[in-house]
Amino acid sequence: MNIMLFHSTYGLRPAVRAAADRLRAAGHEVWTPDLFEGRTFETVEEGLAYKDELGNDEVLKRAVLAAAPYSDRGLVYAGFSLGAATAQTLALGDAKARGLLLLHGTSDIAENASVDELPVQLHVAEPDAFETDDWLSAWYLQMGRAGADVEVYRYAGAGHLYTDPDLDDYDAEAAEATWRTALGFLESL
C-alpha cells in the first residue's frame, strides 16, 4: 500500500518517523511530508499557534503538494491528530484514495462530500477533549452519509496522542492495540 502519513501539531517528530518505519516493515511505501518545514514543538499550544500563524489554507496547500506526485498510485491517507484532519480532507477529495487511517483526530466534512465506500478506520482516546462523544457521533453519521465504510476504535483512559512514546499521553497497551488493528486494516485494502 502507498501511504501518505501526516504529522500532528507537534511537527514531524521521532514518533511519526517510527510509525512510518513500522508501516514500511509491514511492506508499505510511506511518505511523511513535513508540513511545518522542520519546526517541531514541545506543547500542543505551541504547535497550534504555529499552525494558526501559517493558516489552515497554507497547511492544506502543503499537504496537497506533498501528496500530488503520488495520488495516481491510489494513496491511503493517514495522520496523527491535526495530520488526521488533513488526511481526511485529502482522502475525501481524492477519487483514487484507497483508504483513510485516522489516529487521534477527525475533521469537518463538507456537505457535498461523496466517496464510494472508502474504507476508514479511526483510533481515538476515550474520553478525548479534542474528539468528544457528541462530535464523534455526528462525524460518524456524516462520514456514513458521504459513503465511507467507517470503523471506530476507542481506548479508555489513554491520552489524546497515546501512540507517541515521547509524550505524557503515551499508553503502551493502547498504542500496540492500535498498531495491530491498523496493520490489519491496511492489509485488508
Q: What are the angstrom distances between the C-alpha of 78 and each of 6, 81, 170?
A: 6, 10, 19
Q: How far, in Å, are 24, 26, 108 from residue 63 at the CA level?
A: 20, 24, 17
Question: CA–CA separation, 103 vs 93, rounded Å?
Answer: 19
Q: What is the mean pLDDT of the chain?
A: 97
Amino acid 71: pLDDT? 94
State pLDDT tens for residues 88-112: 999 999 999 999 999 999 999 988 9
CA distance 188 to 171: 26
CATH architecture of 2-188: 3-Layer(aba) Sandwich (3.40)
Return the axis-axis angle of helices 44-54 and 56-67, rounded to nearest 10°.
Answer: 90
H helices of 26-106, in order, are 44-54, 56-67, 82-92
What Rg, from alpha-carbon coordinates, does the chain have?
15
Task: Number of helices (H) and strands (E) in the chain: give both, helices first.
Answer: 6, 6
> pLDDT, tens digit, for every residue of 168-182?
999 999 999 999 999
User: Which of 83, 74, 96 is closest to 29 using CA atoms?
Assistant: 74
pLDDT tens digits along 16-34: 999 999 999 999 999 999 9
Give the residues across from 71 on adjacent strands.
none
Cα(first)–Cα(last) distance of the chain, in Å? 8
Containing H/E element for 124? strand 119-126
pLDDT at 57: 95
In tens, the pLDDT along 120-134 reads 999 999 999 999 999
Mean pLDDT value across residues 62-68: 98
> Is the torsion defined by CA of 141, 145, 179, 22 positive or negative?
negative
Q: What are the boundaries of each domain within the chain?
A: 2-188
Who contacts 158 (Cβ-Cβ below 8 Å, separation ≥6)?
A: 125, 126, 169, 171, 174
Q: What is the model's pLDDT at position 8?
A: 97
Q: Which amino acid is at 66?
A: A
